A and B are shown apart, each in its own frame.
Chain A
Amino acid sequence: MSTSTTPRIPTAPLAPVAIPRRMSPRRWMAEIGWRHLVGLAAMAFAVFPILFVVSASLNPLGTVSSSGLLPKAFSLVHYEALISGSRGPFLQWYLNTLIVCGVVAVTQVFLSTLAAYVFSRFRFAGRRIGLLSLLLVMMFPAILAMIAVYTMISDLGQVIPVLGLNSLPGYIVVLLGGSLGQVWLIKGFFDTVPKELDEAAIIDGCSHWQVFTKILLPTLTPILATTVLLALVGVLSEFLLGSIFLTADDKKTLAVGLYGLLQGDRSNNLGVFAAGSVMIMIPVIILYQFLQRYIVGGSTAGAVKG
Chain B
Amino acid sequence: MSSTTPAVEMKDIVIRFPGVLANDHVNLTLRQGEIHALLGENGAGKSTLMNALAGLYKPVSGTTKVNGELVDFNSPKDAIAKGIGMVHQHFKLVPTHTVTENILLGMDEPRFLMNLKKYDEKILELEEQYGLYVDPAAKIWQLPVGAQQRVEILKTLYRGAEILIMDEPTAVLAPQEIDDLMVTMRSMTDQGKSIIFISHKLHEVIAVADRVTVLRKGIVTAHGKSLEGLTKRNLAQLMVGRDVVFSVEKEEREAGDVVLEMKDVYAKNNKGLPALQGISLRVHSGEILGIAGVGGNGQSELAETITGLRECEGLIEINGEEISNQPPIEAIARGVSHIPEDRTTVGSAPSLSITDNMIMKNYNQEPIGNGWSINFARAGEHAQKLKEKYNILAPNVRTPAGKLSGGNLQKLILAREISSYPRLMVAMQPTRGLDVGAIEAIQSLLLEQRQSGTAILLISEELDELLSLSDRIAVISDGKIVGAVLAEDADINEIGLMMTGGTDD
Q: Do A and B actually bind?
A: no
